[in-house]
Structure 1
């Protein structure tokens, strides 16, 4: 009976994020004395919008906005990157194989968990994990098991975590980029968030965007 009550309480404490939004603040840290190219991300924001089978990740920095929209249509996954830098607007279509290529650095990531380390982020108790990449580099992530996400395509590096990443690190050259959740919302997201623009963008394939033919 005690075990049954424990599992019931755990299930009750968990929230399922099938539809909603997560907002992250981005900070940059570096040991270099001179400014580096990637420091334009300092102060940027990253918003994630979710619906069943759909996700939109929208990064806004001083340079402009880059969004990744993923729609699951039956057995087919449609992936589109929108880049808006001033007057330059690009729409890049990717196949699932292209998406895997974009994220190949994180393909075989594994996590080591530290059950003794916790901190509170946006009212949720976050646990510490160390991500281990195939190239030997590591990064720290704080995640909460209290939020379960169905659709994990939006955050490739953390898709194997048993919960939602509330703070995590990535690297950009010699810079450490830290994403920290500023808000988690379970409010409905308008369907228009996942619609692609009809005009105004230069349409490109993934290979064209890389400079290929």
Structure 2
């Protein structure tokens, strides 16, 4: 009888261990390389996550763009630097949803395919837009980010995305692949909106 009790206890503990949800990451910095189809230029994306806010910085030889997004309010700010000029646009939740309307009706299929990125086992997901475009994403279930940089584009992905496809405004395919993850605290100053030095542009 004692043996049965021990076996029962072991099964409960084992089930508890394997049922544990992914560890929530409240602060981290992820660096991605960016490859644009038919473009030989090098670009880098840096994603900062802190609580419910994200900051996504894209640096290329021709321009830089930063998007600061608040998951609580749904508000976003875009900062751009182009040809020596600086521009700032702010979006309320409704405006940001409208700007991301290409992702409305997004259907995500989670597959059993996987590969290793930065030492993490990453599962493959395929997202299909209502226009018929498909985008591949690889995510690790080892972590669950506390905030999404874009809940419209990355809807229903149960983990931290380390590689994904997107497209430019001209319809060119873009590949983002993580090359580094840093779990050190992210300075709160990263999410402060500039009050000067930028030309204000109304959301399109």
Q: TM-score range by the shorter chain?
A: 0.7 to 0.9
Q: TM-score, normalised by structure 2?
A: 0.86
The CA distance in 2 between the partners of 1:63 and 1:51, in whole Å, is 28
For 1:186 and 1:156, the matched residues in 2 are separated by 25
> 1:14-73: per-residue Cα shift (whole Å, max 9, x none)?
33211111111101234xxxxxxxx37x4211111111121111111111210011236x
1:130 maps to what in 2? 126
Change in CA separation of 1:138 and 1:77 when aligned onto 2, cut-off 3 Å: closer
- Structure 1 position 46 matched with structure 2 position 23: no
Give every structure 1 segment of 4 or more consecutive aligned residues whose post-TM-superposition deviation is greater than 4 Å: none
Give the whole-Å Cα distance in 2 for the aligned partners of 1:56 and 1:146.
22
Q: Which residue of 1 aligns with 2:114?
A: 118
Structure 1 residues 64 and 184: alpha-carbon distance in aligned structure 2, compared to 1, 3 A threshold: same
Say which one has the larger Rg. 2
The question of whether the paired residues in 2 share the 8 Å contact of 1:57 and 1:154 is answered with no
Q: Equivalents in 1 of 2:151, 2:80: separation in Å?
A: 18
Aligned partner of 2:75 in structure 1 is 78
Question: Structure 1 154/48 Cα, relative in aligned 2: closer, same or farther at 3 Å?
Answer: farther
Per the alignment, residue 11 of structure 2 pairs with 2
**2:134 is aligned with 1:148:** no
Q: Identify the residue that residue 98 of structure 1 maps to in structure 2.
A: 95
Q: Could you tell me how far apart the structure 1 residues matched to 2:163 and 2:89 are?
A: 28
- Whether the aligned pair in 1 keeps the contact of 2:75 and 2:96 (CA below 8 Å) is no
Hey, what does 1:188 align to over in structure 2?
Answer: 185
C-alpha displacement of 1:198: 2.4
SS at match of 2:131: coil
Cα gap change, 1:50/1:174 in structure 2, threshold over 3 Å: closer, same or farther? closer
1:127 Cα deviation after fit = 0.7
Query: CA 1:155 to 1:121, structure 2 compared with 1: closer, same or farther past 3 Å?
Result: farther
Distance 2:52 2:165 in 1: 26
Alignment partners' CA distance in 2, 1:138 and 1:64:
27
Whether the 8 Å CA contact 2:49–2:146 is kept in 1: the answer is no
In structure 1, the gaps of 5 or more residues are: 31-38
* Deviation of the 1:134 alpha carbon: 0.8
Report deviation, 1:86: 3.3
Among residues 10, 25, 38, which one is paired with 2:33 in the alignment? Answer: 25
Q: TM-score, normalised by structure 1?
A: 0.83
Q: CA deviation at 1:76?
A: 3.9
| Residue of structure 2 equivalent to 1:162 | 158
Stretch moving more, 187-196 or 155-164: 155-164
Give structure 2 stretches of 5+ with no counterpart.
1-9
